[in-house]
Structure 1
Amino acid sequence: MNSVKTLVASAVALGTFGLPAWAQDDTIKVGVLHSLSGTMAISETTLKDTMLMLIEQQNENGGVLGKQLEAVVVDPASDWPLFAEKARELLTVQEVDVIFGCWTSVSRKSVLPVIEELNGLLFYPVQYEGEESSRNVFYTGAAPNQQAIPAVDYFLDELGVESFALLGTDYVYPRTTNNILDSYLQDKGIAEEDIFVNYTPFGHSDWSKIVSDVVALGAGGKQVGVISTINGDANIGFYKELAAQGVDAADIPVVAFSVGEEELSGLDTINLVGHLAAWNYFMSADTEANDDFIAGWHDFIGDEARVTNDPMEAHYIGFNMWVNAVEEAGTTDVDAVREAMWGQEFPNLTGGTAVMNTNHHLSKPVLIGEITDDGQFDILSQTEEVPGDAWTDYLPESAVLKSDWQELDCGMYNTETETCVQVKSNY
């Protein structure tokens, strides 16, 4: 074990994930803000491990600006207000230079006013509802036009779906995404009566009535499809109920935005085979870069059964862009690094190149995958890189908005009034 690994191992044993005090003055601190306990730990612990791997690999390659990176990990414990407290701790007590973290939109919105107040820098790696562009956040997950809308287009163009069930967990991401999709579908000629929208709480288990309502959409002979923003373990009951009512993917296909390799790992996929997911990355991508990433992950984690997933690739892209921006700027100063981020390019893991746009969203490919019985995805389609939209064209209040932090120095520019709308985060 080299000296860097020894330092990290010692820090882990201490529960700080940082370097010993004698080493801290000569390090660049990287904050890791992911839940290690509570309901979101099953997803976010993997992203914490991903960041530790990326930091270790970068340190083995010489660090950044001649310094080693120090991972400072905190546990917001799936508690949304605690995310804000831990972000403040990272910036004011630990004095980190950058933060990689959050999963749910509610956790990101909790952190946002703290990051903006203290001029921190957050890289957010998970697909989300859009309708946001902060000076202090780089969004490396998918916006709706990079996941939700292409999935609907696949249903319309490839599967001939005529009636849509928009099923989601009851919080901001599903509700905003489905508002966008409802408008988009009607713009595409789908009648309002052919769009069924339903929300359920986290952990919902009784799906019999809802599945019956979905099936009833096809009573007149129309092809039905489900757009799912259902999160967490509620998915298990939902797919089981589809099977219990004799519905399989050939009858009513489901495309999910929150079911990936991590969620499928260890589950019996018998009720999920043939259903779909839309992401910007699948572990099954056949590229040399992906093979290397998977091999590095298995070597770091010490378990070849561990899967990779889309948010891991988002952290991989965001971290490497940040490293390159710091080197280009010659400093970790947030303002200098932010400007150096615009136009950054880095190879993604699916064969293309990610580009950071001036609206702080990436250009990414869109992949549609079919669930296989081994918990992986057979990739059915893959687009060229699609620039992420901060503001959708399918909500009237957003269609007039534009984000451009380079030319306009604004994340919410009204193209009709030609003014920058200043919105104070008050979540």
Structure 2
Amino acid sequence: MLATATSAAHAEDTIKVGILHSLSGTMAISETTLKDAMLMLIAEQNKKGGLLGKKLEPVVVDPASNWPLFAEKARELLAVDKVAAIFGCWTSVSRKSVLPVVEELDGILFYPVQYEGEESSRNVFYTGAAPNQQAIPAVDYLMKEEKVKRWVLAGTDYVYPRTTNKILEAYLLAKGVKPEDIMINYTPFGQSDWQTIVSDIKKFGSAGKKTAVVSTINGDANVPFYKELAAQGIKAEDIPVVAFSVGEEELAGVDTKPLVGHLAAWNYFESIKSPANATFIKEWHAFTKNPKRVTNDPMEAAYIGFNMWVKAVEKAGTTDPDKVIAALPGIEAPNLTGGMSMMLPNHHITKPVYIGEVQDDGQFDVVWKTGKLVPGDAWSDFLPGSKDLTSDWTGATTGGTPCGNYDTKTKKCLGLAAMH
């Protein structure tokens, strides 16, 4: 019995933090780095004396790019390991798998990846970009700066690309783009044969109007996609691709020649010069013992989310989820590009937006940025079902009731949970 008593006492001495990222399967190429970044942030916090006088203890699980397994592992983290918060998920389908679990068990999930919006949960904090912080500014850039008239919306076949493209299609049509100037294409995870699709894109782009590809292709399918573009002689100056899921990590270890000149839209690039970023990169290299390891946007989102959580726990004086959830809106934490990001009442944050051009060393040269921080919008202004919705978990603008999907026309809350 003594051993159990001691281990129970030991458990009280630490604050457990759940790390829920795929370390195997098709998404490991992107997610393993986030696990490492979280371990670094936890180690740094412990060097500062931990949190509320206790050490933080990471609990790492591998949901293996298997969406139902994400829910199972999240349940384990909350019910068995009793973690104070979960940092994790990459694809929206994994997040949607975890969402009912964190709502049921009153956990906290920090989600660090750009996503399609159309969701707001009391238990989830979205530190990656909403569509108005990535997809919409990228299309604006292509329209204004590159004079693009024809659009290929190419994505992996799951919820994030489909919803983002629904928003982008509505946005393009509202801007006067003709339906025949929009081509939409979906491929499965891990797609390796791009020959036919790329030749369709080439044909679509040969109509004498400037054409661009807006890519929500995710995971390891990106490598053969860009290779095929190069193989068919499609250059960035002819048909530029702007990607929302290709960052430094995805470019590391691949031949970047076929990608040079193509674009990506993010809220952070490793190449951005700021004291905070220089420090972060130095710590990352020291932590991984590898000067070649790159940083990327979802890492920055994890960094911001973790620091916001730490501040909220300190403010609440406890890791009790209800008190921490209440403390988070209004909390500010530095981002790595030189500004301060704030957690908004809709559980999204303020972020700058950058468009970067791929260089032959796998880094990005920033070609455009927003003048100020853009507040993340949970509900798109361009979809009929959501343009009248707002989210405010403080209740300040929703008639006193905390609500994730408040209809500003009917002044009603359409249910407290996220819309599925």
Regarding TM over 0.5, the answer is yes
Contact 1:147/1:279 (<8 A) preserved: yes
Task: Verify: 1:419 aligned to 2:412, yes or no.
Answer: yes
Deviation at 1:321, TM superposition (A): 0.6
2:126 alignment counterpart: 139
1:72 alignment counterpart: 59
2:299 alignment counterpart: 312
Q: Per-residue CA shift, 1:243-276, capped at 9, x if unaligned?
A: 1221100101000001000000011001000000
2:374 alignment counterpart: 386
Which of residues 403, 407, 410 in structure 2 aligns to 1:410?
403
Amino acid at match of 2:413: C
1:20 to 1:239, Cα distance in 2 relative to 1, 3 A: farther
Amino acid at match of 2:409: E
2:151 alignment counterpart: 164
- Which whole-Å CA distance do the structure 1 matches of 2:235 and 2:354 have between them? 22
1:426 to 1:160, Cα distance in 2 relative to 1, 3 A: closer
- 318-327 or 39-48, which moves further after superposition? 39-48
1:401 alignment counterpart: 389
- Which whole-Å CA distance do the structure 2 matches of 1:321 and 1:34 have between them? 20
- Which whole-Å CA distance do the structure 2 matches of 1:90 and 1:218 have between them? 49
- Which whole-Å CA distance do the structure 1 matches of 2:26 and 2:220 have between them? 10
Task: Verify: 1:191 aligned to 2:178, yes or no.
Answer: yes
Contact 1:163/1:223 (<8 A) preserved: yes
Q: Per-residue CA shift, 1:56-113, capped at 9, x if unaligned?
A: 1001001111111111111111111111111111111111111101111011000000
1:263 to 1:21, Cα distance in 2 relative to 1, 3 A: farther
Question: In angstroms, what is the RMSD of aligned CA positions?
Answer: 1.5
Amino acid at match of 1:403: S
Contact 2:404/2:416 (<8 A) preserved: no
1:356 alignment counterpart: 343
Q: Structure 1 regions of 5+ residues with no counterpart?
A: 1-18
1:6 alignment counterpart: none
1:50 alignment counterpart: 37
Deviation at 1:219, TM superposition (A): 3.0
Deviation at 1:421, TM superposition (A): 0.7
Secondary structure of 1:160's match?
A: coil
Deviation at 1:24, TM superposition (A): 2.3
- Which whole-Å CA distance do the structure 1 matches of 2:16 and 2:366 have between them? 38
Which of residues 278, 284, 299 in structure 1 aligns to 2:265?
278
Q: Any residues of structure 2 matched to 1:284-363 within 5 Å, and which? A: 284-363=271-350
- Which whole-Å CA distance do the structure 2 matches of 1:49 and 1:220 have between them? 46
Q: Any residues of structure 2 matched to 1:79-94 within 5 Å, and which? A: 79-94=66-81
Contact 2:115/2:131 (<8 A) preserved: yes
Deviation at 1:213, TM superposition (A): 2.1
- Which whole-Å CA distance do the structure 1 matches of 2:74 and 2:220 have between them? 27
- 42-51 or 269-278, which moves further after superposition? 42-51
Which of residues 26, 36, 40 in structure 1 aligns to 2:27?
40
Amino acid at match of 1:203: G
Secondary structure of 1:226's match?
A: strand
Contact 1:113/1:425 (<8 A) preserved: no
Amino acid at match of 1:176: T
Q: Structure 2 regions of 5+ residues with no counterpart?
A: 1-5
Contact 2:110/2:127 (<8 A) preserved: yes
- Which whole-Å CA distance do the structure 1 matches of 2:23 and 2:106 have between them? 25
The number of equivalent residue pairs is 409
Deviation at 1:22, TM superposition (A): 5.9
Deviation at 1:347, TM superposition (A): 1.3
Amino acid at match of 1:187: A
2:203 alignment counterpart: 216
| TM-score, normalization by structure 1 | 0.93
- Which whole-Å CA distance do the structure 1 matches of 2:228 and 2:16 have between them? 47
Task: Verify: 1:100 aligned to 2:84, yes or no.
Answer: no
| Identity score, percent | 68
Secondary structure of 1:397's match?
A: coil
- Which whole-Å CA distance do the structure 1 matches of 2:7 and 2:342 have between them? 36
1:374 alignment counterpart: 361
1:241 alignment counterpart: 228
Q: Per-residue CA shift, 1:155-196, capped at 9, x if unaligned?
A: 001000000000011111000000000000011111111001
Deviation at 1:123, TM superposition (A): 0.2
- 79-88 or 203-212, which moves further after superposition? 203-212
- Which whole-Å CA distance do the structure 1 matches of 2:361 and 2:49 have between them? 38
Deviation at 1:425, TM superposition (A): 6.4
1:345 to 1:424, Cα distance in 2 relative to 1, 3 A: closer
- 226-235 or 166-175, which moves further after superposition? 226-235
